[in-house]
Amino acid sequence: MRRLLKAALARFKTNPSSASGPAILMYHSIGENSAGFTVTPAEFRKQMAALREAGMPVVSLDECVRRGKAGNSPPAVALTFDDGYRDFEENACPALREHGYTATVFLVTTLVGGTFRTSKGLEFPLLSWDDARRLQKEGFSFGSHTATHPKLSRLEKKGARRELAESRETMKRELGGAGPLYLCYPHGAFVKATTRIAREEGYAGALTIDPGRVGPKTDPFALPRIDVNAKTTVESFRASLLEGKTRKAASC
């Protein structure tokens, strides 16, 4: 317990998240199911409308990080979706298209086209490579959520490197281009060595589930996010965006 607390404090000291600045929103499933991380399509639609009403620009993840690092930039958000559920296309895309918003989806490369099983035993169908290619053509981006969704902090360095390198290679092969820019740590679990390996493997940055916003002092390999889940009301959504309120996220 003390070790955990010490690690959390150390992380806070080395990665102070800004109270203001651009925010990366974290979504998982958009649908009608009992998972705590799920947002219903109706709520999601309300949230996208709230961004529009607030005049909040929705930018790409890379642009969001760039603006945060530069500091003093006007508020903006980037939308991210973990695990690559098929309901992203079915339930999130219609509202995203309506507003012309882009988003980044994080894929678990060995599971693409299959099923994701949560720790509570819920099963989610996943996007296929064909789906991802089609969505990419439309302007959505994809990042790596590793090859098998392990807790990277628990793996030996060699195993962690394999997860990061293999998923990157697979994405390069399936989606073309130079490979994914961003990595998303499964369960938000990482240690200092993970960030070094991610950098060495060619990623531009990595996302955590630690709450906060992106600022000039933020470590690009420990990017904080604002969690949006089943408990988020449109009021709390507005408040977290406009007032910079964040809280600890639940992990999938």
Binding of residue 201 to Zn ion (CB under 5 A): no
Q: 51 or 127, CB closer to Zn ion?
A: 127
Q: Residue 49 — φ and ψ, nearest 5°?
A: -65, -35
How many other β-carbons are positioned within 10 Å of the β-carbon of residue 233?
A: 11
Q: Which helix (H) or strand (E) holds 142?
A: strand 141-144
Stretch that binds Zn ion, among 49-57, 81-89, 133-141, 198-206 (CB under 5 A): 81-89
Q: How far is the CB of 209 from Zn ion (least distance, A)?
A: 9
Which residue, 22 or 186, has its beta carbon nearer to Zn ion? Answer: 186
Token pair belonging to 145:
């959520």
Least distance (Å) between residue 55 CB and Zn ion? 31
- Start-to-end CA distance of the chain, whole Å, equals 22
Residue 163 near Zn ion by CB under 5 A: no
Q: How far is the CB of 231 from Zn ion (least distance, A)?
A: 18
Which is nearer to Zn ion, 82 or 201 (by Cβ)? 82
Tokens found for residue 81: 């979706």
Residue 252 interacting with Zn ion (CB under 5 A): yes
Minimum distance, C-beta of residue 242 to Zn ion, in the bound complex (Å): 28
Stretch that binds Zn ion, among 1-9, 77-85, 135-143, 209-217 (CB under 5 A): 77-85
Q: Which is nearer to Zn ion, 83 or 87 (CB)?
A: 83
**212 conformational bin, left if phi > 0, alpha if psi -120 to 50, beta if neither:** left
Residue 138 has which token pair?
Answer: 């439309």
Q: How many CA atoms lie within 13 A of 131 on its CB side?
A: 17
Residue span binding Zn ion (CB under 5 A) among the ranges 88-96, 180-188, 205-213, 224-232: 180-188
Q: Which is nearer to Zn ion, 101 or 185 (CB)?
A: 185
Residue 227 contacts Zn ion per CB under 5 A: no
CA 80 to chain centre: 4
Does 82 help bind Zn ion (rule: CB under 5 A)? yes
The residue among 126, 124, 106 whose CA lies nearest residue 175 is 106
Distance (Å, whole) CA 224 – CA 19: 11
Judged by CB under 5 A, does residue 83 bind Zn ion?
A: yes
Q: What counts of helices (H) and strands (E) characterise the chain? A: 9, 9
For residue 145, the minimal CB distance to Zn ion (Å) is: 6
Distance CA 150, CA 127 (A): 19
Supply the DSSP symbol for 11.
H
In the complex with Zn ion, the residue whose CB is nearer, 181 or 252, is 252
Total residues contacting Zn ion by CB under 5 A comes to 4
> Measured from the CB atom, is 162 or 238 closer to Zn ion?
162
**Contact set with Zn ion (CB under 5 A):** 82-83, 186, 252
